[in-house]
Amino acid sequence: MAGNRADAAATRAGRPAGIRANDYRLLSEFRYLLRCFLEFSETAAVRAGLTTRQHQALLAIKGVRPDAAPTIGYLAERLRIQHHSAVELANRLAEAGLIVREQDESDRRRVRLSLTDAAEQRLAELSSSHLAELKRMRPALLDILNQIEAMGHSGAT
């Protein structure tokens, strides 16, 4: 009964039913932590001599899922960019000596991407610092996620 009144008041106030002030605070805090991590990542990539997009590409290629192949199409999907943008990015990475293109033995039309030793070394250093940063942020992230779970949000309002 009280929940229905609160939902009706929220609707009158222009908010979808079931969304409370604390929900907004948690979402805001979560987005803030994501931005902090992304800012950390961008700064670390630049210090390593890479653009953010190059770092993301190297990580996507190295961290390819077991059921996928590190191709231009895979890179485009993982970075959420257009295919032609992934081609340009791969060209720049190859020119910089960070990736190698190899024809797929099982499908000659497909080109696999792999990291050079120089890219492996840069990525290992970046990944080490990123994992340490995530470990540092873990308590705050878990606190937010635990609060959301305790509120019983299912993702639908």
Domain with 118 in it: what CATH number? 1.10.10.10
Structural domain contains residue 59: yes
Structural domain contains residue 53: yes
SS3 state at 113: strand
Structural domain contains residue 128: yes
SS3 state at 64: coil
Residues 6+ apart with CB under 8 A from 147: 22, 26
Give the structural domain span for 92. Answer: 21-150
Beta bridge partners of 99: 115
Which residue in the block uniquely carries the two structure tokens 């009280």?
Answer: 2
Q: 1-44, pLDDT tens digit by residue?
A: 555 566 666 566 666 778 899 999 999 999 999 999 999 999 99
Q: 35-56, pLDDT tens digit by residue?
A: 999 999 999 999 999 999 999 9
Is the pTM value of this prediction over 0.85? no
Using alpha carbons, select from 120, 132, 117, 122 the residue that is nearest to residue 49.
122
Domain count, the chain: 1
